Structure 1
C-alpha cells in the first residue's frame, strides 16, 4: 500500500477533530491522541483507538480524593472554556453528586485570560478548601502564584495535563509543590507504594529506563528535555507498536485493527489498555485506558504517590 498507514499521538482535541473525519473516511488508523477527550470514543469509529484516560475520569478521581481522603466539602473548579475544561467540570459534578455535594464555585476561563485576581477573589469568597484546575499549565502557574500573593492557598488539584512535575515546578518557580495531580503513568504506583517518592527524571520503571537509553539518548534533539512529556508520546502508541509486533510482516490495516481489538489489559509505561471488537453502540470498545492514580508534587520536583490505580467511570454524553 502507499500513502498514510496510520496517524499516531497527535496533540490536542481541536486539531484531532479537524482531521478525524478525513482519516476515518479513508480508513486510516488514528491512534493514541494526546488529549483525553470523549470525542475519540463517542461515537466510536472502527479505525480510532484512544489511549489517553479521559478528562472526565481525572475529575472523578480528584473529586473522590478531595472528599473521601481529605474530608473537604467546599470544592471549586477553574476550567478552560473548551472541550477539555468542560469535561472536567462535568466529571467533577458527576462525582460530587454521589456525595450530595455541589461545587461552591465554577469559573470558566478563556485562553487569553491573564489577570487571575478576580478568580482568586471568587474562590476566596466561596471559602473553597480545594480548587480543581482544568486549565492550561500557564494559567495553573498564574492562579497558584496569584493565590500565593493574595494569601489564598487552598489545596490545588489538577489534571494529567499538568502531570510533568519538574516542568510545572520550573514554570511556577517552585510554587507547584504540594499540588495534587492525576497521573496516567510513567511510573507504577503498585511498585512504588503509597507514600513513596518517584523521580520521573531518574525512573525506577524498567521500561522508562529502556526508553531513555534507546529513544531519548539516540534520537532526541539537543534541546529536547527528558521527562514525562517526552515519554508520554511513547506511552500513547505502545499498544500500536505491540499490535504491529503481533501482526508480523504480513501487515494490513485490517489485521492491525483485529489485533488491537484483542488487546486486554496490555500495560507498558501507562495504565492498562483494553479494546473490544467494534460496536457502533459501545464507546468502551475504543476507550483504551480507564485508570489513573493520584500523586503530589514535592519540593524537589518529584512525585509522592498517594493512591494506587483507580478505574474511572465512563460518562456518556448528555448524562
Structure 2
C-alpha cells in the first residue's frame, strides 16, 4: 500500500496518547471470558503506562460490552471506528461476534489485534488487518483427536457444540481430524448460544454410546451437560476446547469436574512450577496481582496479557511516527520473539498467527494439571461396552 493510501497518523493518535477500542462480553453468559481477557490485557497496559507509555504516549482502551451478541458487537465496533476514532481494535472475544465485524475492519483498514477465538475464517486466507496470537480450533481439535483416538484408542467420539460460527468451526475441525483415523462422529448434539438447553443434544450423544465427547461451547452449558450426563450414569471422556473458560468451568462443576480435559493455548498460570520456570508467566502473575488483586491467575487473562505484549511490541517497533499501516508492518517483523512462555512468537506477511502450541490439562479437585505423558492417563479411557 502506497503512502497516498495511508490514513494520516493525526486521525489515529495524538501527541500524548494512543486510543484502542474493544468490544467483548463483560456480563451475561460469557462475561467471565471478556472480563478476564480485558483484565489480563490491562494489567500489562497499566504497567507500560507507568513506565511512560510507548514513545511517550499512553495507551488508552475504550471497552464496550457486547454480551457475546453479534449485532451488538457490530454496533459497538461502528461506534469505536466512527465516533471514537480509535487507532486499532484489540482483544475481541468470540467467533460469532468477531466474524461479523471483519467487513468493518476491511473497509476502515483498521488493525484488529489479539482475538480470543481460534476460528479458521479469521486465519485463512490471511487478512492484513487481522492479527491472531493464539493457536486455532483446528489445531486444538486435531491435537485432541490425535491423543484420544491415537494414544487412548478411543473409536467412538461424539461432538457437542454451540450452534453458531464458533461451534461449526470446532465441529468441522473435529471431523477433519477424525477423518485421518477413518472415523466420523458417532453423534452430534448442539445447543443455542445464550441458552442452557442441552438436554436434546445430551440424549442424542448418550444414546450413541460415545466413549468421548468433544465439546465446543462455553462454560455454563458445558458444565450443565457434564453434570447431567454424570447424573444419568453417562461418563465418557469429556474434552473441551480452550474457549470454554477452563477455570470457570472447573468452578461450576465442582466434584463433577474431576477427569474433565481442556486444551489450552497458553501455559497453566496457576502452576507454581510454571511460574518458577517461565518468567513470562511469573511477570503476568505479578502484574495481575498488582492491578487486579481480586483475580486469580487463569488461562483467559494470561491470553489477554500476551495479546497486550504483542500489541505493545508492534507499537514500539513502529516508532514515534506510527500509523495503522506501519503498525501492521512492524508486527510482521516479529520473528522468534521470546516473552518467557517457552514458545516464541512469530509473524510475517504470509502468517498472522503468532503462537502454535496446544497444551492439555485435566481437572482434579477444581485445579488443573498438565498432561505430559498420555500413556499415564489411560485411566481416562472409559470401559468399552460389552
- Within the candidate set 289, 292, 313, 1:217 is matched to 289
Structure 1 residue 74 and structure 2 residue 156: aligned? yes
C-alpha contact (below 8 Å) 1:120/1:152 kept by paired residues = no
| Structure 2: gaps spanning 5 or more residues | 1-9, 13-85, 375-386
Q: Which residue of 1 aligns with 2:70?
A: none
SS at match of 1:77: strand
| Structure 1: gaps spanning 5 or more residues | 189-197, 279-284, 309-319
Residues 140-149 or 247-256, more deviating: 247-256
Q: Which residue of 2 aligns with 1:182?
A: 263
Cα distance in structure 2, aligned partners of 1:14 and 1:154: 29
Cα 1:270–1:108 shift into 2, 3 Å: farther
C-alpha contact (below 8 Å) 1:34/1:236 kept by paired residues = no
Cα 1:28–1:207 shift into 2, 3 Å: same
Please report the RMSD computed on the Cα atoms of aligned residues, expressed in angstroms. Answer: 2.5
C-alpha contact (below 8 Å) 1:272/1:289 kept by paired residues = yes
The alpha carbon displacement at 1:49 in A equals 0.9
Q: Which residue of 2 aligns with 1:96?
A: 178
Cα distance in structure 2, aligned partners of 1:207 and 1:201: 13
Cα distance in structure 2, aligned partners of 1:35 and 1:104: 26
Q: Which residue of 2 aligns with 1:2?
A: 11
Q: TM-score normalised to the size of structure 1?
A: 0.82
Q: Which residue of 1 aligns with 2:220?
A: 138
C-alpha contact (below 8 Å) 1:239/1:266 kept by paired residues = no
Q: TM-score normalised to the size of structure 2?
A: 0.68
- Within the candidate set 245, 251, 254, 1:173 is matched to 254
The alpha carbon displacement at 1:126 in A equals 1.2
The alpha carbon displacement at 1:251 in A equals 2.6
Structure 1 residue 252 and structure 2 residue 323: aligned? yes
Cα 1:258–1:116 shift into 2, 3 Å: closer
Cα distance in structure 2, aligned partners of 1:183 and 1:97: 23
Cα distance in structure 1, aligned partners of 2:373 and 2:338: 18
Corresponding pairs, count: 290
Q: Which residue of 2 aligns with 1:11?
A: 93
Cα 1:200–1:159 shift into 2, 3 Å: farther
Higher helix share: 2
User: Structure 1, residues 48-90: CA drift from partner, whole Å, max 9, x if none?
Assistant: 2111222122211111110111110011110111111111111
Cα distance in structure 1, aligned partners of 2:261 and 2:319: 42
Cα distance in structure 1, aligned partners of 2:373 and 2:143: 10
SS at match of 2:152: coil
